[in-house]
Structure 1
Amino acid sequence: MGQTNKHGLAEEGGASEGPAAKSARTAGGAEEAAATGSELYYEEGGLQRVRPYFHKYAAHAKGRWVGRTVFDVFSREFRDRSTGYYEAAIERGLIEINGKRVTKDAVVQNNDLITHHIHRHEPPVTTQSVRVVTETAEGLLVVDKPASIPVHPSGRYNYNSVTQILETTHGFKKVFPANRLDRLTSGLLLVGLNAAVARRLEQGLRHHRIQKEYVCKVAGNFPRERVVCDEPIRVVAHKLGLNCVDRALGKPSLTEFQWLCDDGAQSIVYCRPKTGRTHQIRVHLQYLGYPIANDPLYHNAEVWGRQMGKGGALPAVAEADGSSAAGPDKPSAPAEPRPTKMVGKRDDDKCNETWRHLVARMAEWKDKQNQEEHDRYAAAATDGSGVCGVCECPMMPDPTPDELCIWLHAWRYSGRGWSHETEFPAWAQGAAALVDAVKYRPEDGSLSPSPSPSPSPGSN
């Protein structure tokens, strides 16, 4: 049994029934030739897309399902699709019990294995190619990852992931990424072509023998002198992807920053993280008061309030009803949080009174985003033009340009006697000529001397 997806059904067999397989299940239960290689991906509307395919999800019956009909379970438990869809799916053999076709009136028994061959629509991503920067005889692959593409298959992304693209279109048998980048972050990945190389790379990163350098675009006029932030960071809510500075419970973290240029409203900043905490650069920049300008999590007034988390300030709790409604900020740096009971299965999901209100605001904001996405689906299906002809489900709306990236780019990795780098992204091109003056020098283990301030190039 694989990982459980958002439908509560466990994913089995990876992409075994995807477009790269030898055959795929049709809506009628028959078999048909599936797309492979270059036929798998196509471009339309300025985005790279994956041809829809059938994929099997499976789960053993939960206690509350036992004694109910299979139609009742799906129509009531999994409401992302219509009851008409589930009725047709059962009739076509797309929903099975213990590997056998059933009628809609079949009753679920204890320990039954329920499978659903779902027609999968992956979100589109940028048309920018996953580019191989370097491949060595020792099995090191250096890759330039575009923003919008996750490193590994996750959630609704499978073939539109770096590992699958490398294996499907670049001809690599198996790849082992040694570091991670968020889906919306662009830049360098170090990839092993075998597990041993990947382990060596991971150890080099963990023990700081490999140095990472980034560039980003932040809100405001960043200070022109070098800035070092060593505030400790912890995961406040793992399920929400929320990380914050926490001086009592956070892990040691350190990032060096250097201004490169600005246009009076936003700045291009060079970043060198010396530790590798999740969202470290994003969290430290927010704490300093210069969040990445298009960061949906850490530059978000709905969640953080007007102070936007600067200096650890948290939004105020509404005094009238104790809800998470927005109100005047009352900065409250979380220097001495008081731990309370666990609210999740993981240790890093521990919450406390200091953070509880912020976590609630973040959850409320994410629920709002999910509802807006659902409403967009419903609007697309109103006249039938936005409905898939195979599974009769609303088609996924395309992401907007703002939903495809954040302005954070992993520019360069280096070690003793070697370095690899990428070009600056379009949003930072004006700073490319300035970075040589501040970049990391492996021979002395430090940043170059800070350059004297110079006029902004006006490229932002």
Structure 2
Amino acid sequence: MSLKRKDPEAEAGKSGDRGRRKKARGDGGEGRYVPPPTKRRAGVSFGDEHFSETESYIENGLRKVRPYYFDFETYCKGRWVGKSLLDVFSKEFRSEPVEYYRRAARAGRLRLNEDTVQDLSVVLKDNDFLRNTVHRHEPPVTAQPLHLLAESEDIVVVDKPSSLPVHPCGRFRHNTVIFILGKEHNMKELHTIHRLDRLTSGVLMFAKTPEVSKKMAELVRERKVEKEYVCRVCGEFPEEMVTCEEPILVVSYKIGVCRVHPKGKTSKTVFQRLSYNGKSSVVKCFPHTGRTHQIRVHLQYLGHPIVNDPIYNTEAWGPNRGKKGEINMTNEELLRTLIEEHKSKQSLDILDVGEDDLLVLNSGQSEDGCPCPPSASGTEDPACTRQDKDVSLAKDAEEVAIKNPSDADMEGKGHGLVDPLCGECKIIRPDPSPKDLVMYLHALRYRGEGFDYSTKLPEWAKDNWIE
């Protein structure tokens, strides 16, 4: 969906006018008029008003984004109907204490059907429209530039760096391929044909029209596109061709964790060893299906996980790190173990999980399904469980309803601004090493009828590479 960022001060003025016409809501929700929902354009579209929200800069080999204010909008979820705002915030969004939400409401930072709400006892109704402005922080990505591989009147093809998400998802918006192409290369209104994991680099195709996007997506879905990936894995991979057809089950859409399981979906990957240096092997991968993390999961099952895979090559999977599917844990236990391991390493950003997400995961609440079409590539982006969360308050309602404070309320913090109610502003995080944001998995070639796009081998995949 398309979201237009509104000027907080102008909107505050509008809400002030409304406030003079009818007082801020404090009637507990009874007798409230709820306007009918307006039709919202499907798809994701971004323009200059979105690109101007903030700016990026390079520091310590990382591409960073200055914290910025952003409007989030959502219609009332079905499970919220009949509950008060306070009940929803305290039960579902517990990353902040209840007092925080009361302070935010008193400050006029939450709007219901475009009217400010100062009393959280308001009971939500079907079609209620919530809007809040959050102080948004994005994790850094590597400073590697996007390389344009090809462009025609129909297609744009880039060599995506590792650590950069394809489109806005989770905590990422400006540090995404779509935003960088739009803002820095004036390539707007692009349509995704396939996706890659955030940590995966390589060939990434976009269509310039919906018609071309649909045609290309059908080719990928019908397996008429040949895909080649290259990776570096642990140990000595067999010299002969290896085919893995183990079914893959999604353990968590929230953080994109999968495992081999009899109840999983049919999957097939063919592997071919290119070289072995005594410690690790360079392997070509040919995914015939497009399951989430398919290449990574199959390599783990074979006992040769990707050397620096932060999910599938960790001790959380047991002493054999998931080889032959021997995990001996329930899905819930596996998730808990993975999260605890990354918490101890202070690397939750690798999973695109915040402390607020942990509350949901640990409480056993169900996750909303991903509205995005399934990926046709061998490695779809698992972070995309709620298409940028532009369409949901889920993650961001925890930071609820922050209006744009005056300059007097803000202090400089590095290259950004500090918001007095933003919990993230109070945390000083050490920069990750650019090396830690690179995983040795690369989409080397996409070929089909009438097209053939490829990149050079990454440095880590060359015969003379030394770790």
**Structure-1-length-normalised TM-score:** 0.69
1-structure distance, mates of 2:255, 2:69: 29
Matched, 1:16 2:49: no
Alignment of 1:208-287 (within 5 A): 208-246=223-261, 248-287=262-301
Q: Which residue of 1 aligns with 2:334?
A: 361
Q: Which residue of 2 aligns with 1:25?
A: 8
Which of the residues 149, 154, 159 maps onto 1:133? 149
Q: Which residue of 1 aligns with 2:389?
A: none
- Partner amino acid, structure 2, of 1:423: K
2-structure distance, mates of 1:153, 1:129: 18
- Partner amino acid, structure 2, of 1:393: G
Matched, 1:181 2:181: no
Deviation at 1:427, TM superposition (A): 2.2
Deviation at 1:157, TM superposition (A): 1.2
Which of the residues 318, 323, 328 maps onto 1:305? 318
1-structure distance, mates of 2:105, 2:190: 38
Q: How many residues align?
A: 364
Give 3-state SS (helix, strand or coil) of 1:231's partner: coil
Give 3-state SS (helix, strand or coil) of 1:264's partner: coil
Deviation at 1:416, TM superposition (A): 4.5
Give 3-state SS (helix, strand or coil) of 2:333's partner: helix
Q: Which residue of 2 aligns with 1:116?
A: 132
Contact 1:314 1:358 in 2 (8 A): no
Deviation at 1:200, TM superposition (A): 1.6
- Partner amino acid, structure 1, of 2:141: V
Give 3-state SS (helix, strand or coil) of 1:200's partner: helix
Which of the residues 286, 304, 329 maps onto 1:290? 304
Contact 1:219 1:267 in 2 (8 A): yes
2-structure distance, mates of 1:91, 1:28: 17
2-structure distance, mates of 1:279, 1:256: 14
Give 3-state SS (helix, strand or coil) of 2:284's partner: strand
RMSD: 3.5
Distance of aligned partners of 1:262 and 1:126 in 2 relative to their CA distance in 1, 3 Å threshold: same
Alignment of 1:159-174 (within 5 A): 159-174=174-189
Deviation at 1:174, TM superposition (A): 0.7
1-structure distance, mates of 2:301, 2:278: 20
Contact 1:61 1:110 in 2 (8 A): no
Q: Which residue of 1 aligns with 2:162?
A: 147
- Larger Rg over CA atoms: 1
Give 3-state SS (helix, strand or coil) of 1:215's partner: strand
1-structure distance, mates of 2:204, 2:131: 36
Matched, 1:459 2:466: yes
- Partner amino acid, structure 2, of 1:363: R
Which of the residues 392, 395, 418 maps onto 1:389? 418
Which of the residues 446, 449, 452 maps onto 1:419? 452
Give 3-state SS (helix, strand or coil) of 1:132's partner: strand
Question: Structure 1: which 4+ aligned runs deviate by more than 4 Å?
Answer: 26-31, 33-39, 61-68, 70-77, 82-85, 370-375, 384-388
1-structure distance, mates of 2:423, 2:253: 31
Distance of aligned partners of 1:403 and 1:29 in 2 relative to their CA distance in 1, 3 Å threshold: farther
2-structure distance, mates of 1:128, 1:296: 20
* Unaligned 5+ runs, structure 2: 15-47, 349-353, 356-411
- Taking CA–CA contacts closer than 8 Å with sequence separation of 6 or more, which of the two structures ends up with the larger relative contact order? 2
Distance of aligned partners of 1:63 and 1:359 in 2 relative to their CA distance in 1, 3 Å threshold: closer
Give 3-state SS (helix, strand or coil) of 1:224's partner: coil
Deviation at 1:313, TM superposition (A): 1.9
2-structure distance, mates of 1:27, 1:127: 35
Deviation at 1:181, TM superposition (A): 0.5
**Structure-2-length-normalised TM-score:** 0.68
* Unaligned 5+ runs, structure 1: 1-12, 18-22, 316-323, 325-356, 376-383, 432-456
- Partner amino acid, structure 2, of 1:295: D
Give 3-state SS (helix, strand or coil) of 1:286's partner: helix
1-structure distance, mates of 2:435, 2:240: 30
Which of the residues 306, 319, 327 maps onto 1:314? 327
1-structure distance, mates of 2:99, 2:13: 21
Distance of aligned partners of 1:106 and 1:191 in 2 relative to their CA distance in 1, 3 Å threshold: closer
Q: Quick check: 167-176 or 418-427, which moved more? A: 418-427
1-structure distance, mates of 2:435, 2:314: 14
Contact 2:231 2:283 in 1 (8 A): yes
Deviation at 1:113, TM superposition (A): 4.2
Deviation at 1:255, TM superposition (A): 1.9
1-structure distance, mates of 2:456, 2:323: 31
